[in-house]
Structure 1
Amino acid sequence: MRVLLLCSSFNGLSQRAWLELRRAGHEVSVELAISEQVMLEAVELAKPDLVICPFLKDRVPEGVWRRVRTVIVHPGPPGDRGPSSLDWAIADAETEWGVTALQAAQEMDAGPIWGYRMFPMPAEAPRKSSLYNGPVADAAVELVAEVALRAADPGFVPTPLDYGRPEVVGRLRPAMRHADREVSWSEPTEALLRRVRAADGAPGGRAVLCGLRVRVFDVHRGPALSGEPGTVAARREGAVLVHTGDGTVWVGHLRAEEPGAVKLTAAAVLGERVAHLEERPGYTEITYERGAGVGVVSFDFYNGAMSTDQCRRLTSALRYAVEQDTRVLVVRGGEVFSNGIHLNVIEASAHPELEAWRNINAINQVCREIVTCTGQLVVTSLGGNAGAGGVMMGLGADRVVVREGVVLNPHYRTMGLYGSELWTYVLRRRVGQAEAARLTGAALPIGAERAREAGLADEVFGGGRAEFERAVLDYAERLAADASWERWVEAKRRVREEDERRKPLDAYRVQELAEMSLDMFEDRSGFRAARRAFVGKERASATPAHLAAHRETASHM
């Protein structure tokens, strides 16, 4: 079947839908919904049997849905309507939520239903981005596969929306307004967490902090301290501790409400207003735990971006971990495993090119610690998506374990970079030179199972995040207890020594950095514009050619 995906962006969910449909044998092309004319033109060129909209903010033109069956994936249960579904679900503390596949029609979100999935909501208010990339995405991908199957059945008829049916539990809700996102620091902590997390990662809660009008992101429950609500009590690793009506919250990130402002750590945005405050324990992005022969370094960097400072702290944690007498070291990422260097911090720097250079050198040190650990087996635990240098960082381990549903983007092309993170060593070591060239050149996402088939991953485990992490820990404990452990470690040392004699790691690093210097300082491939577009969330001006197969086909006719 020919399927056209119409998307506002080729985000994680859109990528998973693309992968699932291709895995099922469908011919899939993508068009970014840049304008009504572009969408109409895409349908004319692609001549699809089915149009699916896994992530679409704009209305589907009537000329599309009247011509081709068009199914929209809506992040709400049957009957839910409106553009702020997840925001309201979190803010209202819903106990159950869902995703619905519905046919495009004249009235928004009111078309016949092709299928739906329900799931329990976490008791603790989730970040909107976590909810979207977790249970919503999982349910949506199941529905996309189901829709494709049903579209092939000539006897299938979608169910008209009927609020009298018991499964139709949603309702029309208005778009969430600015007033709904206003944060009062005098609110109870629980209410404040819900308000901010319902807007995270966009558009953020609205507040005044230290006299500055800001958008608030990345909040965590703090200790039960008394103090004037809205005052900042301490700072730690870029976060600040703010008094609430009945306790405190750690605020990880802010964006000043002014033109051109960039989302950064709270301490960076507040600057001198909090520079005098002492560092207080209780908040950390990096932890180390050990037991049963296994050490675990966990890091959870917001949105998977790794700044120079974060890389240096992670390097220190890894150095500590490799000095311990454990047999296996697990390197565990967060909601997003890693997307490589921190473009927001780079763009906000007084000297962006110099900061980019510092950042790439700092992340290279992280990668080096993983590759050169020869006294333990190293397992990287990818429970979340990874891109660019984040993928390469994970590949430096002896065993790479990926959660089912995770998407990897093992390439740098979209950002105009050659890449570093020792990728010319670790990627080629795993998949060979020809496949490494294909992966980095194609600039396409790959799923967990395909990653295992290609050699990028050793194991794929399913389940939710907690279940996955438990499975990885069990796997690491089995490795530590295995009678072959000493033989494995000895073989690892021997291979590393042989590889070092053949070509030192520093030679790979120097060659990569020579290429990166041209990208970062001479801007040979458009890194500056690509970075600014990413940080400024600029809308794409065209669909990348490697995604829009229908346009490539038309150009050859």
Structure 2
Amino acid sequence: MRLAFMGSPAFSVPALHALHAAGHEIAAVYAQPPRPAGRGQHETPCPVHQAALDLGLPVRTPAKVRRDTAEHEAFAALDLDAAVVVAYGLILPKPMLDAPRRGCLNIHASLLPRWRGAAPIHAAVLAGDAETGITIMRMDEGLDTGPMLLREATPIEPRDTTPDVHDRLSAMGARLILRALEEDPPAIPQPEQGATYAPKLGKEDGRLDWTQPAEALDRRIRAMSPWPGAFTALNGEPLRVLSAEPASGRQAPPGTVLDDTLLVACGEGTALQLIRIQKPGRAAMDSAAFLRGTRVAPGTILG
């Protein structure tokens, strides 16, 4: 089948490899433009761009496509059976959505219509969902509102982080898109009942609000790993919290360090045991190692 592949982050790479290995003709790979990265701030291709180069596939990196009629015409000229879209990062206009004979098929990392939007994996972990999954969807002009071709679920385990779920769904999406292309299943409209949205995340989404119960803070820490990262403040300095676990608490103002192991009071009389933390510019370490170099007296307030 003659395809275009459109994606940018590491999540998308297994699907590109699977389509290539299955023998599909990939006429073009579309990815976000290279951006400065690393200490030297050198222009660096995104993971899909690099994977396409490694496979010897042609790559296009337009900064915008929505109103670029020349880009629309170039896309239509590819004469595609389908386009596979996986976390591309740009909104496709109707001329591009309509150009491939079987449309643009999206690998979306949720069980639609729950968690439409930019950060569905983070949202599912943060909400404490028991499961999530992959939906293969034929794209329309709405935000993840197109009809569904395939869905498959996977549990979210109690200690799963966003990277844990990310890796499972990435592999699942690669497998399901091959099925969708081979089987051409009937499209089923999404129900509007139960639709929720997962907006793009910012740095402040990682801030820990100690007035919340420990279980909610634990989910936030696991959901915001590795970016934007969960954080608090210690003596006015930022402190990143990489892992923690809810523990038995006692009444104290939220954010109070309760003992000499970094047990912190949370809302509703709960507490959170900080396990792994990191100061800016320093290596991550467990709480015991951190406390050997930094005194944090019981009664200290984090926040």
Same fold, TM exceeding 0.5? yes
Checking the alignment, whether the CA contact within 8 Å between 1:183 and 1:205 is kept in structure 2 is: yes
Q: Does 1:173 align with 2:197?
A: yes
Describe the superposition over 1:357-399 as per-residue Cα deviations: whole angstroms up to 9, x where unpaired: xxxxxxxxxxxxxxxxxxxxxxxxxxxxxxxxxxxxxxxxxxx
- Asked if structure 2 preserves the Cα contact closer than 8 Å seen for 1:201 and 1:217, the reply is no
Correspondent of 2:264 among 243, 249, 255: 243
Name the residue aligned to 1:31. Answer: 30
Report if aligned partners of 1:189, 1:249 keep a CA contact under 8 Å in 2: no
Aligned partner of 2:230: which letter?
Answer: G
Q: Which residue of 2 aligns with 1:120?
A: 155
- In structure 1, the partner of 2:189 is 160
| 1:63 aligned partner, one-letter code | P
Choose 177-186 or 72-81, whichever is displaced more: 177-186
Deviation of 1:49 (Å): 1.8
Within the candidate set 49, 66, 90, 2:98 is matched to 66
Q: 1:59 to 1:232 in 2, by over 3 A?
A: farther
Match of residue 293 from structure 2 = 275
Measure the CA separation in 1 of the matches of 2:217 and 2:283: 19
- Once the two structures are superposed, residues 378-428 of structure 1 have per-residue CA deviations (whole angstroms, 9 ceiling, x without a partner) of xxxxxxxxxxxxxxxxxxxxxxxxxxxxxxxxxxxxxxxxxxxxxxxxxxx
Contact persistence 2:215–2:246 (CA under 8 A): no
Give 2:30's aligned amino acid: E
Instruction: State the match for 1:464 in structure 2.
Output: none
2:226 to 201, 215, 229: 201
Structure number with greater Rg is: 1
Q: What letter is aligned with 2:245?
A: R
Matches within 5 A, 1:318-333: none
1:242 and 1:250 in contact (8 A); partners too: no
- Counterparts of 2:245 and 2:198, CA distance in 1: 29
Match of 2:132 in 1: 97
CA deviations 1:321-362 (Å, max 9, x no partner) are xxxxxxxxxxxxxxxxxxxxxxxxxxxxxxxxxxxxxxxxxx
Structure-2 separation of matches of 1:106 and 1:276: 53
Cα–Cα, structure 1 residues 243 and 158, in superposed 2: closer, same or farther, change >3 Å?
same
Q: 1:146 to 1:206 in 2, by over 3 A?
A: same
Match of 2:39 in 1: none
- Residue 84 of structure 2 is aligned to residue 52 of structure 1: yes
2:218 partner SS: helix
Relative to total residues, which structure has the larger strand share, 1 or 2? Answer: 2
Alignment partners' CA distance in 1, 2:140 and 2:283 = 43
Q: Secondary structure at the match of 2:177?
A: helix
Structure 2 residue runs of 5 or longer lacking an equivalent are: 34-62, 297-303
User: Would the aligned equivalents of 2:276 and 2:285 in 1 still touch at CA under 8 Å?
Assistant: no
Match in the other structure for 1:221: 245
Deviations 1:48-95 (A, max 9, x none): 321111222332233311212111111111212222322221122111
Q: What count of residue pairs does the alignment treat as equivalent?
A: 249
Equivalent residues of 2:76, 2:96 under 8 A apart: no
Specify which structure has the higher proportion of helix: 1
Alignment of 1:3 with 2:3, yes or no, is yes
Contact 1:76 1:99 in 2 (8 A): yes
What is the DSSP-based 3-state SS (H/G/I as helix, E as strand, rest coil) of the residue aligned with 2:197? coil
Distance 1:184 1:108 in 2: 30
What is the deviation of 1:231?
A: 4.2
CA distance in 2, matches of 1:150, 1:265: 49
Indicate the SS of the match to 1:115. Answer: strand
Q: 1:234 to 1:48 in 2, by over 3 A?
A: farther
CA shift in 2, pair 1:19/1:234, >3 Å: farther
Letter aligned with residue 180 of structure 2: V
Per-residue CA distance 1:256-307 (angstroms, 9 max, x = gap): xxxxxx6x53469xxx9983449xxxxxxxxxxxxxxxxxxxxxxxxxxxxx
**Deviation (angstroms), 1:243:** 2.7
Any idea what SS the aligned residue of 2:106 has?
A: strand
Task: Tell me, in whole angstroms, the C-alpha distance in 2 between the residues paired with 1:137 and 1:106.
Answer: 24
Aligned to 1:149: 182
- Counterpart Cα distance in 2 of 1:109 and 1:213: 36
State the secondary structure of the residue aligned to 1:203. Answer: coil
Which structure would you say has the larger RCO, counting Cα contacts within 8 Å and 6 or more residues apart?
A: 2
In structure 1, the partner of 2:40 is none
**For residue 110 of structure 1, what is the aligned residue in structure 2?**
145
Which amino acid in structure 2 is aligned with residue 23 of structure 1? A
- Tell me, in whole angstroms, the C-alpha distance in 2 between the residues paired with 1:207 and 1:244: 13
Q: What RMSD in Å do the two structures reach over aligned CA positions?
A: 3.5
| 1:205-354 to 2 correspondences below 5 Å | 205-213=230-238, 216-221=240-245, 229=255, 231=257, 241=262, 243-245=264-266, 246-253=271-278, 265-266=283-284, 275-277=293-295
Deviations 1:208-240 (A, max 9, x none): 2331245x35213387688983549779xxxxx
- Equivalent residue number for residue 173 of structure 2: 140
Distance in 1, matches of 2:8 and 2:258, equals 38
Query: What pairs with 1:496-511 in structure 2 (closer than 5 Å)?
Result: none
How big is each residue's C-alpha offset from its partner over 1:31-56, in whole Å with a ceiling of 9 and x where there is no partner? Answer: 21342349647625644321111222
Contact 1:7–1:54 (Cα < 8 Å) also in 2: yes
Deviation at 1:105, TM superposition (A): 1.0
Preserved contact between residue 111 and residue 132 of structure 2 (Cα < 8 Å): yes
CA distance in 2, matches of 1:219, 1:273: 16
In structure 2, how many angstroms separate the alpha carbons of the residues matched to 1:195 and 1:138?
A: 24
Identity of aligned residues (%): 18
